[in-house]
Chain A
Amino acid sequence: GNSVTQMEGPVTLSEEAFLTINCTYTATGYPSLFWYVQYPGEGLQLLLKATKADDKGSNKGFEATYRKETTSFHLEKGSVQVSDSAVYFCALDYNQGGKLIFGQGTELSVKP
């Protein structure tokens, strides 16, 4: 079936460090891919998305490239801030019908 796997957290980084959160997926066809972020005590917010192979989504310094050959959508940021501390979710929508399938979430903690 369709699924999303993320690297386990928590991930703890110092401010200005480079961030990578790995995400791989299994899906039939050509899903759309998303990264959502959940700040403490809040709902999820869309961070970025990509709808076809080789698309790069970007927002707030975060980037992810849709790699069909490796079925991956890794999240990266060159220099993290304390305010980036949150839980990050990778997700796919495989039939454009709105049924998002989420990974298990990766908690990021950035220390000053």
Chain B
Amino acid sequence: DTAVSQTPKYLVTQMGNDKSIKCEQNLGHDTMYWYKQDSKKFLKIMFSYNNKELIINETVPNRFSPKSPDKAHLNLHINSLELGDSAVYFCASSGTGQAVPDTQYFGPGTRLTVL
């Protein structure tokens, strides 16, 4: 039973292309997140959605656009990819309202390489 899943696991593409990463959680959580992990393993939050509504939007270029079709899915679309976008992107989810703070559960990550 996969709790938080991401596709694809690896993504290699050329500069200037547009790509999407998909995330799904089957935990019944209300909140989902996208994090970026750079080559030095530093993790930074990009976005979070609660029940399909955007609640956290860090200083991220507007080439990045999250989309949440329902509360179990949060996709990340990236336009006009740049070399600096190469990183591992993690999806996470939390929140059934039964614990404060809610534990975040992470997906396995998508390694994006921009050539």
Write the residues of chain A forming the contact surface with B, with a CB cutoff of 8 angstroms.
Answer: 32, 36, 38, 41-46, 49, 51, 87, 89, 93, 96-102, 104-105, 107
Are B43 and A102 interface neighbours, CB within 8 A? yes
Write the residues of chain B forming the contact surface with A, with a CB cutoff of 8 angstroms.
Answer: 4, 31, 33, 40-45, 48, 55-56, 90, 92, 94-95, 100-109
Give min CB distance, B44 to chain A, whole Å: 7
Q: Which of A32, A51, A104 contacts B41 (CB 8 A)?
A: A104
Are A105 and B104 interface neighbours, CB within 8 A? no
Are B48 and A98 interface neighbours, CB within 8 A? yes
Are B101 and A104 interface neighbours, CB within 8 A? no
Nearest CB in chain B to that of A33: its residue: B101
State whether A89 and B43 are in contact (beta carbons under 8 Å apart), knowing that A43-B109, A45-B106, A96-B100 are contacts in the complex.
Answer: yes
Nearest CB in chain B to that of A93: its residue: B101
Interface secondary structure of A, over-half rule: strand
- Report the bound CA distance from A110 to B10 in whole Å: 28
- Report the bound CA distance from A99 to B46 in whole Å: 10
Are B106 and A43 interface neighbours, CB within 8 A? yes
- Report the bound CA distance from A38 to B108 in whole Å: 10
Are B40 and A104 interface neighbours, CB within 8 A? yes
Question: Contacts A43-B92, A98-B94 given; 10 further ones with Cβ under 8 A?
Answer: A42-B108, A43-B108, A44-B106, A46-B104, A51-B100, A98-B101, A98-B102, A99-B48, A102-B44, A104-B40
- Report the bound CA distance from A102 to B106 in whole Å: 14
Question: Which residues on the A side are within 8 Å of B108 (C-beta)?
Answer: 41-43
Task: Give 5 pairs: A residue, B residue, CB < 8 Å, sorted on A.
Answer: A32-B101, A43-B4, A98-B48, A98-B104, A99-B45
